[in-house]
Structure 1
Amino acid sequence: MAEIHYPVCTVENAAHPTRSKQPGRYEHHGTISQTLPSPGPKQIQSLSTENVCKSPMRLAEGLILPNGTPVDTSSLASSSSLLNRLQLDDDLDGETRDLFVTVEDPKKHVSTMETYITYRVCTKTTRTEFDLPEYSVRRRYQDFDWLRNKLEESQPTHLIPPLPEKFVMKGVVDRFSEEFVETRRKALDKFLKRVADHPVLSFNEHFNAFLSAKDLNKRQGLALLTKMGESVKYVTGGYKLRARPAEFAAMGDYLDLFTQKMGTIDRIAQRIIKEQSEFLMELREYGPVYSSWSSFEEDLHDPLEGVSGCMSNCSSALEELTEDMSEDFLPVLREYVLYIESMKNVLKKRDQVQAEYETKLEAVVFREDKKPPVPSDVEKCQDRVECFNADLKADWDRWENNKRQDFRQLLTGMADKNIQHYEKCLAAWESLVPLLQDKQEAEGETS
């Protein structure tokens, strides 16, 4: 995974955290000079009309999802070994991490007022911001939602990972079923891991409280009282952007295209799952018919029982394939659909800040004075634009890296599961051949 360099951004009167003298710490001041961590050699220049990407097509090439190296799927072992190797390569980054978070052990709570699920959030860290090296707290979905809202308020220039959708259609999905709870647990776990891996979001004070506070409800109330008025509202009204810079226009175009592709794949995948589920029900009824038939066919008893067993094995293999597609494939697609919405929201905020800056700068230029002084609010607005550009470009690179890794693992896993499915079906049908051959040989000898 390519490393991402976050440049120095200076934002006046913004509710952004800044590093203290101790590594990894942030402080809040009226005027902030924010120095973001620089783990890698990749440089990101401040965006201006001179250094905007000269060729949008060149940028678009880097945004296209690569096909990757050819995968040898001639055998189950080759696919499985590749999947294991990919997971091993991804785990190598863990050697440099200092914050590990997991979501586990969902529990159902029933009270007179409501029924809800809580999850245990376990944290291991060596950071000095935490008083203890390990924490274990229980959180419910609304706590995760509170955290994401706080991250969005306090870090408006950054892309906040999405949460799984809160509401489900009643009567269609049982939100207390084991399958639904496990799918949501995986999504919440991925959300926290993405925040923990982010070089800026992981140091947010709200994230610290979420991981360590025993009574988060009390902390939420205090935060609401103390932070009123401190958040900088980047969403402005009355300003219209003339033209989005080429680089960010290419991002917007790619997101629109990516949304269409994800939506199409999701709809088709759901239809496939529905058809597979219907076929599975028929297949389960199909096998017992042969078994019932064999009870009064003495000469065909063994072959018919063999067909019945073959159908049973094939139905079990299809059930596993359908479950894997529902529990592993679809959630990734839906996560990235939500990710796209988050990215579009950040782009809109960036556009609004730039529009505000252009409007204020134009007002200064058209003054009657020949050399009008640049007001401080215009300079602050310019700083906000530059900070937005730098943070958004860095988070875009990080999102692209995560996307390549996620879809590489997703498609490799899908190939692996399909190979397993067809190998099981092949083995089931091949086991039937000797029974038919033995029957033919026996008939030949008697004749």
Structure 2
Amino acid sequence: MSVGTPRGLASSGQKPITEIPHPLSAAEESLSPGPDVSISSGGDKDLELTNGTLVENSSPASASSTSTSALLSRLQVEDNFEADAADLYATTETRDLFVTVDDPKKHVSTMETYITYRVSTKTTRIEFDLPEYSVRRRYQDFDWLRVKLEETQPTNLIPPLPEKFVMKGVVDRFSEEFVETRMKALDKFLKRVADHPVLSFNPHLNAFLTAKDLNKRQGLALLTKMGESVKHVAGGYKLRARPPEFNAMGEYLDTFSQKLGTIDRIAQRILREQSEYLTELREYASVYSSWAGSEEELQRPLEGVAGCVTTCCGALEDLSENMSQDFLPVLREYVLYTETMKNVLRKRDQSQAEYEGRLEAAVLRKQEDRTPMPLEVEKCQDKMECFNADLKADWERWQCNKRQDFKQLLIGMADKNINYYEKCQTAWESLVTVLQDKQTEDKTSETN
């Protein structure tokens, strides 16, 4: 694959990087001794980072305890969320490719059992023969598409697919909950590819959306020529200096993945504890129900307690379901996203290593025999600049998606928790009324 400016770059508003001008004379000067940077960079620093840019630590403002302040904060979050959504889809009116994944179906044969999903497409692009398509795809077809995108678009960030099993301990991958969760993740993956100004023009995406039968054997095990040359030249080479903006990206990804991993582990533990608590709570309610049958004087209060506990069981079940089907999958998606972004960053470093290696060799030859700078050095320079521009543009897109997704996720989590506690509070308040009525009846009976 020849690497130049990707198709759709100009129309997407992606700006070419200007921090590394790289005229050959300046590039030769850049070979002066400097701090070596390993290609596989990373660190365990717990830095405070904003969108991959180092910032100074500041003390957090004290949270207000009043409901008015909480409401204002909630409205501020929603306003920011709407603003981000407007920025992300500012060109919605000019979009010309819409995809949807829905309608899962189970297929059973003598050889295997699997799920397929309907992939619907609407478009006005001239690359498509028809304005609408509807095909059925299974998980391995989505996986094929992602592999092909990684092979043919090595400078772009490819959105992650959901893992083979969304959560550890999932046994029934044909359960309704598992299939629904996977369908949502596949739909999000395909929408992000279709909305990307470069990936959406990839011919493999066209084949995935339109072909009845995918020819998945072709090219599956092949590496791109760019990948081969980079590995050959950059093997064992250390970068002279990675640009600071990419260092900041790497540090941000390390910190972000560490925080997500911690939240994911705690959320998994909370979910297990909620499941155990829910089991005990159901037994707790049944004990009160059976007790009410043998206590005539306490029948109404005991049945009231059983009813309250049962209501709390239902509310907790809804809360746990939201965490397992909505909260945890998003966390896991961004854990995978950070690993994908780190991989693209490593490829960028390999591209820089290839350029520096070839340039250093060319400079030595020029000093020895006055030979002109070879054309391959300029090509490597173009590849690296293209990589830098694509990575920075995809980084900004990823940050925008991340802000939107997490604002929506946290607002949903807050609403679910509020709903849970409101249901529990309402149930126990109704019990207080029953107990007060019972007390009034008892006093009346004693008076008479």
The Cα shift of 1:61 comes to 3.6
- Relative to structure 1, is the Cα distance of residues 432 and 83 closer, same or farther in structure 2, using a 3 angstrom cutoff? farther
Q: 1:300 to 1:59 in 2, by over 3 A?
A: closer
Q: Hey, what does 1:109 align to over in structure 2?
A: 107
Which moved further from structure 2: 121-130 or 272-281? 121-130
Cα distance per residue 1:405-429 (max 9 Å; x no partner): 1101000110011011111111111
Structure 2 residue runs without a partner (length 5+): 31-46
Indicate yes or no: 2:11 matched with 1:38.
Answer: yes
Structure 1 residue 375 displacement after superposition: 0.4
Instruction: Measure the CA separation in 1 of the matches of 2:49 and 2:424.
Output: 42
What's the counterpart of residue 289 of structure 2? Answer: 291
1:90 pairs with 79, 82, 85, which one?
85
Q: What displacement does 1:243 show?
A: 2.9
Aligned-pair distance for 1:446?
A: 2.8
Structure 1 position 294, deviation (Å): 1.0
C-alpha distance in 2 between matches for 1:101 and 1:344 = 28
Tell me which residue corresponds to 1:423.
Answer: 422
Q: Structure 2 length as normaliser, TM-score? A: 0.82
Alpha-carbon distance in 2 for matches of 1:82, 1:101:
29
**Alignment-derived partner of residue 40 in structure 2:** none
Moved more, 287-296 or 394-403: 287-296
Tell me what 1:358 maps to. Answer: 356
For residues 170 and 438 of structure 1, the distance between their equivalents in structure 2, rounded to whole angstroms, comes to 49
1:118 corresponding residue in structure 2? 116
State the one-letter code of the partner of 1:236.
K
| CA deviations over 1:299-340 (Å, ceiling 9, x no partner) | 111111111111110000000000000000000010011111
Helix, strand or coil at the partner of 1:124 = strand
CA contact (8 A) 1:135 1:211 kept: yes
User: Displacement, 1:182?
Assistant: 1.0
Q: Per-residue deviation at 1:48?
A: 4.7
CA distance change for structure 1 residues 424 and 84 in 2, over 3 Å: closer, same or farther?
A: farther
Per the alignment, residue 224 of structure 1 pairs with: 219
Shift of the 398–65 alpha-carbon distance from structure 1 to 2, 3 Å rule, reads: farther
Work out whether residues 236 and 352 of structure 1, in 8 Å CA contact, stay in contact via their aligned partners in 2.
Answer: yes
Question: Could you give the per-residue CA deviations for residues 225-258 of structure 1, whole angstroms, max 9, x where no partner exists?
Answer: 9x96865326414233233221111111111111
Residues 196-238 of structure 1, C-alpha deviations (whole Å, 9 max, x = no match)? 110000010000110011121xx334x439x968653264142
Hey, what's the Cα distance between the residues in 2 that align with 1:170 and 1:41? 39
Query: Quick one: which amino acid aligns to residue 123 of structure 1?
Result: T
2:431 is matched with which residue?
A: 432
- Give SS of 1:296's match: coil
List aligned pairs for 1:105-184, cutoff 5 A.
105-166=103-164, 172-184=170-182
Query: Match of 1:224, as an amino acid?
Result: G
Identify the residue that residue 269 of structure 2 maps to in structure 1. 271
SS of equivalent residue, structure 2 residue 100? strand
1:215–1:65 distance in 2 versus 1, CA, 3 Å? farther
Cα pair 1:291 1:305 within 8 Å, conserved? yes
Q: CA deviation at 1:80?
A: 10
Partners of 1:280 and 1:246 in 2: CA distance: 50
Normalised by the length of structure 1, the TM-score is 0.83
Q: What's 2:339 paired with? A: 341
Q: Residues 15 and 389 of structure 2 are in contact (CA less than 8 Å); yes or no, is this contact kept in structure 1?
A: no
| Distance in 2 (alpha carbons) for counterparts of 1:59 and 1:247 | 15
User: How far apart in 2 are the matches of 1:212 and 1:250?
Assistant: 40
Tell me which amino acid in the other structure corresponds to 1:143. D
The C-alpha deviation readout for 1:59-107, integer Å capped at 9, x for no partner, is: 9444379999x9997799x979986995797386543321111111111
What SS class does the counterpart of residue 107 from structure 2 fall into?
Answer: strand
Q: 1:212 to 1:231 in 2, by over 3 A?
A: farther
State the alpha-carbon separation in 2 of the partners of residues 370 and 432 from structure 1. 95
2:52 to 63, 80, 85: 63
Distance, in Å, in 2 between the alignment partners of 1:425 and 1:394 is 47
* Counterpart contact for 1:356–1:381, Cα < 8 Å: yes
Letter in 2 for 1:199: P
Q: Which amino acid aligns with 1:344?
A: K
Single out whichever of 243-252 and 428-437 deviates more from structure 2: 243-252
Q: Displacement, 1:14?
A: 1.1
Conserved 8 A contact 2:77-2:407: no
Hey, what does 2:227 align to over in structure 1? Answer: 233
Query: Is the 8 Å Cα contact of residues 59 and 250 (structure 1) preserved in structure 2?
Result: no
Checking the alignment, whether the CA contact within 8 Å between 1:15 and 1:231 is kept in structure 2 is no
- Counterpart Cα distance in 2 of 1:81 and 1:46: 35
User: Hey, what does 2:329 align to over in structure 1?
Assistant: 331
1:224 partner SS: coil
C-alpha contact 1:101 1:124 (8 A) present in aligned 2: yes
Q: Which residue of 2 aligns with 1:192?
A: 190
User: Per the alignment, in what secondary structure is the counterpart of residue 232 of structure 1?
Assistant: helix
Gaps of 5+ in 1: 1-12, 25-35, 53-57
2:2 matched to which residue of 1?
A: 14
Change (3 A) 1:396 1:84: closer
Q: Distance in 2 between matches of 1:442 and 1:169?
A: 53
In structure 1, the partner of 2:388 is 389
**CA offsets per residue over residues 3-32 of structure 1, 9 Å max, x none?**
xxxxxxxxxx6166865xxxx6xxxxxxxx
Letter in 2 for 1:146: W
The 3 A distance-change label for structure 1 pair 333 and 85 is: same
Q: Could you tell me which residue of structure 1 aligns to residue 33 of structure 2?
A: none
Structure 2 counterpart of 1:411 = 410
- Quote the residue 1:10 is aligned against: none
2:285/2:310 contact within 8 Å kept: yes
| Residues 1:171 and 1:438: Cα distance change in structure 2 (over 3 Å) | closer
Q: Which moved more, 1:257-266 or 1:89-98?
A: 89-98
SS in 1 for 2:127: coil
Q: Quick one: which amino acid aligns to residue 390 of structure 2?
A: D
- For residue 387 of structure 1, what is the amino acid of its counterpart? C
TM-aligned CA deviation for residue 125 of structure 1: 1.1
Q: Distance in 2 between matches of 1:411 and 1:220?
A: 39
Q: Provide the rounded CA distance (Å) in 1 between the counterparts of 2:169 and 2:269.
A: 19
The reply to whether residue 319 of structure 1 matches residue 317 of structure 2 is: yes
